[in-house]
Structure 1
Amino acid sequence: MNGLEGIRVVELTSYVAAPACPRILGEMGAEVIKIEPFTGDEQRTQGPGFGMKRNDNEDPAFDMSSLNKNWLSVNLKNPAGLTFVYKLVESADIVVTSFRDKALVKLGLDYETLSARFPHIVYGHMRGYGERGPEKDSKGFDATAYSARGGLITSFPQKGESPVNVPAAFGDFNASVALTAGVLAALVNKQRTGRGDKVVVNLYHMAVWAMQIAMVSRQAGAEYPRSRKEVPCPTNNCYKSRDDIWFLICNGNYNKYFDEMFIAFGLEHLVGNTDYNTLEVIGEHKRTGEVIAMLEAAFAKKTFAEWEAIFRKHEIPYQKCHTIDDVLADEEAYANDILRPLYYQEFGRRVIPTSPIRLASVGDPELITSKPIGYHTREYLLKYGYSEQDVAKLEAAGAVKCFRG
């Protein structure tokens, strides 16, 4: 068996952060059973808000968080529907949800209820905010709990500018990796002890985790937002070449590599100059702006291609500041299966990022696009012992929805 083959995941989620976790598990080989309401996951409606087209059978926006799944539609408020879900959970290894506490308790799908009935279950819960505190029952979205409350939208822009528009679901996709790591750790322990565990990740916490340097350095006086003309380390900053290409150099060990770097930059007259060759001195005497201005003038003398050759020769970490179009055309992304083409009957070729976690036993994973609401409901009912007559009765009673396309 390769990867997570043989591992079964039941998904009770919506939108992006939680669903993207089972997507990753699915790319590792797990069997993912996504349970939707009759109206479907609300993420199915979001494509136009991202400037993307969709129809009832194909939805590139939805696929981003929902590749490689089996699609069931069950009325969780119907006792017969809930009984079916319990059958699924009983045979599963992992349950992933993003429902809020009150709804989970009311439905009998909270951790305490499920773990009492099925002690082996690993339970992954994605939240907007923590389990304690004033926001514990609040709706939490990437834009609100992560980008706004976590400080990203006010720290990313240049000093004096308005808050930035962070790309949609930026925090969701990052948080999904953390939830994946947590449920896999709990799965390892479950296989050792036979007992499951509860794994909790929240978007606000993920944002603060990612902003650690800002959180801690601010207490020492660092400013956020800040200007690129005033950053504490001039060699960890963005600059522009003669042909108007922005690039970033990233050498935080300014003191150690000062002589080599400044010779490479054509500023050899500063070598040995104790007024400029340590971060401590330029920080104490407020000379970082002077150094940045000298670097700006130096970088404006050559094209990016010329600087690229110099950076490579001296092994100075650098990168062109790519646009989205640059990334979509980047050979590196395709050579490493970071971006994968998918083909849609109505929309043609689209490129989608693959999961960043790769198992050698699985290799480059197969990507299977999402399906209409209830596409696999009948198949799974039959697999779990229901007859065709049972399926018809459950449909008639409003317990399940089966795709009839």
Structure 2
Amino acid sequence: MTGPLVGVRVVDLTQALSGPYCTSILADYGADVVKVEPPRGDMIRRTGPFAADDEHHDFGNVFQNANRNKRSIVLDLKTPEGRDVLIELVRSADALVENFSAGVMERLGLSYETLAEINPRLVYTSIRGFGDKRGGESPYSEWPAFDIIAQAMGGLMSITGPDADTRVRVGSGIGDTVPGLFAALGTVMALFEAKSSGKGQYVDTAMTDAVLAVSEIVVNVFDATGASPQPMGNALQGFAPFNTVRAKDGEIALGAPHDAQWAKLCTIMERPDLVVDPRFNSDNNRWINRDAVYAVVEGWVGEHTVAELVELLGGKVPLAPVLDAEAIFANPHFAIRGMLPEVDNPRTGRTSRVTGPVAKLTRTPGQVRHRAPLLGEHTAEILTEAGYDDAQQDALVGAGAACFSSEQELTKEYR
């Protein structure tokens, strides 16, 4: 095992995407992430896509990607015995991450205050749609949330789409993954501080706050002008040219909004006159006269194929072909960067691709070491590490507080 977080133990009570995404980042960089699942398992296990020959439908690709490098233990936290096991795990943990609705952990008798008394150095991280009262009680704190809710309330949807009459969510679940990123960062910062102080703390992450933080145009434009920015398709407020442009055989993304980039583009287009044209001689003037800018650029781009444009502009002016999934899987960049590592898929007997660690640490790199766990795959192993002998483990299973195998009938749910 490698990574800067080797030796850090994380108790992971998260489900769906935002929380598991957070803890997968910690696991990639070496943390021992113990995923505590209810008897029915993480709800996202049964969400596709599934391979055509996967008859089980309990190990979907979304789950595989967000839970690699983790171990799974099944505990029913509604039982006193299951709660006691969790407390034992917390005693030796460095961090706990959960994304339950507000009040669930309190009802289970596992609030931050309770766990902090047991382990004062525990870093406790939560991810909720509108945050936790400990970080500032929102009037919407009781509201449940999904990615689309966070994108809508966080402002991102207000600036996404072809026009003001057609607001759309960003195609990926960044209303989940971006909060997961912020939660992972907050957890690591709190762990760093705890090394010197010996004290843990609560890390409160709101999905809507995270979306707003990366929707900088919403804040910047309104603060400067008092007007709410509107959807502009693939353009960006204040920048031109900065858009997708149609070539002979497809589209490219092109950005040359600053003077030096614009000058290079004009040279390649063999239009040096445009550099000194008063309509185009500054960033702001090009934005004001963007219709004229695009008339010139689109006319030139439309005379070339995507391959020709890549040859002409690549390495000189910011551009990119618009790659779909098939093209990404075949592109050498992502292979060289280790962004599509292979892991085993126990339901097909083949391998699956997941996304790899983004930050490349040269001395203590993160890595995807193994696939996501089957439900309860490591229950016995983790209980043994916590000091439970075989008889005690059997008693927990008999009481319905724990499960060893993901293959048995599992029907209990949290209420």
What TM-score, normalized to structure 1? 0.90
CA distance in 1, matches of 2:199, 2:318: 46
Q: CA deviation at 1:209?
A: 0.7
1:83 Cα offset (Å): 1.0
- 1:128 is matched with 129
**CA separation in 1, counterparts of 2:152 and 2:293?**
33
| Range 203-212 or range 366-375, more displaced | 366-375
State the Cα distance separating 1:385 from its structure 2 match: 2.0
1:370 aligns with 2:372: yes
Q: Give 1:288's match in structure 2, choosing from 290, 293, 306.
A: 290
Q: Does 1:139 align with 2:144?
A: yes
How far has the Cα of 1:59 moved from its partner? 3.4
3-state SS, counterpart of residue 341 of structure 2: strand
Counterpart residue type for residue 276 of structure 1: F
The yes-or-no answer on 1:239 pairing with 2:240 is: no
Partner residue, 2:175: 171
Which residue number in structure 2 is paired with residue 46 of structure 1? 47
One-letter amino acid of the structure 2 residue matched with residue 293 of structure 1:
A
Secondary structure in 1 aligned to 2:16?
A: coil
**Given that residues 267 and 298 in structure 1 are in contact (C-alpha distance below 8 angstroms), is that contact kept between their aligned partners in structure 2?**
no
Q: Retained in 1: the 8 A contact 2:15–2:99?
A: yes
Percent identity between the aligned chains?
24
Residue by residue over 1:105-158, the C-alpha shift from the partner in whole angstroms, topping out at 9 and shown as x without a partner, is: 11122212211221110111111113322211211211212x222233342221
Return the alpha-carbon distance in structure 1 between the equivalents of residues 81 and 25 of structure 2. Answer: 30
1:401 to 400, 403, 410: 403
Matched, 1:212 2:216: yes
Residue among 230, 253, 258 paired with 1:253: 258
Higher mean C-alpha displacement, 41-50 vs 133-142? 41-50
The count of corresponding residues between Structure 1 and Structure 2 is: 399
Match of 2:388 in 1: 386
Counterpart CA distance in 2 for 1:259 and 1:47 is 48
Aligned letter for 1:100? S
Matches within 5 A, 1:175-194: 175-194=179-198
Task: Report the Cα distance in structure 1 between the residues aligned to 2:62 and 2:53, rounded to whole angstroms.
Answer: 7
Give the drift of 1:371: 2.6
- Cα distance in 1 for partners of 2:51, 2:229 equals 33
CA distance in 2, matches of 1:198, 1:159: 41
Aligned CA distance change for structure 1 residues 349 and 279 (closer, same or farther; 3 Å):
same
1:67 positional shift = 0.9
Cα 1:228–1:9, aligned 2, differ >3 Å: closer, same or farther? closer
Which position in structure 2 is the counterpart of 1:148?
A: 152
DSSP-derived class of the 2:144 partner: coil
Q: Counterpart of 2:412?
A: none
CA distance 1:31–1:172, shift in 2 (3 Å): same
Q: Which moved more, 1:166-175 or 1:129-138?
A: 166-175
Tell me if the contact between 1:57 and 1:371 (Cα under 8 Å) persists in the aligned partners.
Answer: no
Cα deviation for residue 66 of structure 1 reads 0.7
Q: CA deviation at 1:186?
A: 0.7
Match of 2:11 in 1: 10
Q: Where does residue 202 of structure 2 map in the other structure?
A: 198
Kindly indicate whether the alpha-carbon contact (under 8 Å) linking 2:256 and 2:318 is maintained by their aligned counterparts in 1. Answer: yes
- Deviation sequence 1:171-205 (CA, Å, 0-9, x none): 32222221111111111111111101111211101
Query: Which of 278, 283, 288 pairs up with 2:282?
Result: 278
**Distance change (3 Å), C-alpha of 1:227 and 1:84:** closer
SS at match of 1:353: coil
Question: Hey, what does 1:59 align to over in structure 2?
Answer: 60
Shift of 1:364: 5.5
How big is each residue's C-alpha offset from its partner over 1:47-68, in whole Å with a ceiling of 9 and x where there is no partner?
A: 2599995726743321111111
Matched residue type, 2:358: P
Distance 1:296-1:404 versus aligned 2 partners, 3 A rule: closer
* 1:265 to 1:88, Cα distance in 2 relative to 1, 3 A: same
Say whether the 8 Å CA contact 2:344–2:351 is kept in structure 1: yes
Distance in 2 between residues matched to 1:189 and 1:154, nearest whole Å: 37
* Distance apart, 1:79 and its partner CA: 1.3
**Alpha-carbon distance between aligned partners in 2 of 1:45 and 1:232, rounded to the nearest angstrom:** 44
Q: Which moved more, 1:316-325 or 1:196-205?
A: 316-325
Shift of 1:287: 2.6
Structure 1 equivalent of residue 79 of structure 2? 78
Aligned residue in 2 for 1:305: 307
- Identify if the C-alpha distance between structure 1 residues 40 and 367 changes in structure 2 by more than 3 Å, giving closer, same or farther: same
User: For the aligned residues, what is the CA RMSD?
Assistant: 2.6
Check 1:15–1:404 CA distance in 2 against 1; reply closer, same or farther (3 A cut).
closer
Number of the residue aligned with 1:159: 163
User: Which residue of the partner structure matches residue 350 of structure 1?
Assistant: 352
Unaligned runs of 5+ in 2: 408-415
For residues 63 and 302 of structure 1, the distance between their equivalents in structure 2, rounded to whole angstroms, comes to 41
Distance 1:24 1:282, change over 3 A: closer
Aligned-partner residue type, residue 62 of structure 1? F
Q: 1:300 to 1:351 in 2, by over 3 A?
A: same
Deviation at 1:404, TM superposition (A): 7.0
1:224 matched residue in structure 2: 230
Residue-by-residue CA offset, 1:187-231 (whole Å, 9 max, x unaligned): 111111110111121110111111112332145247411256896
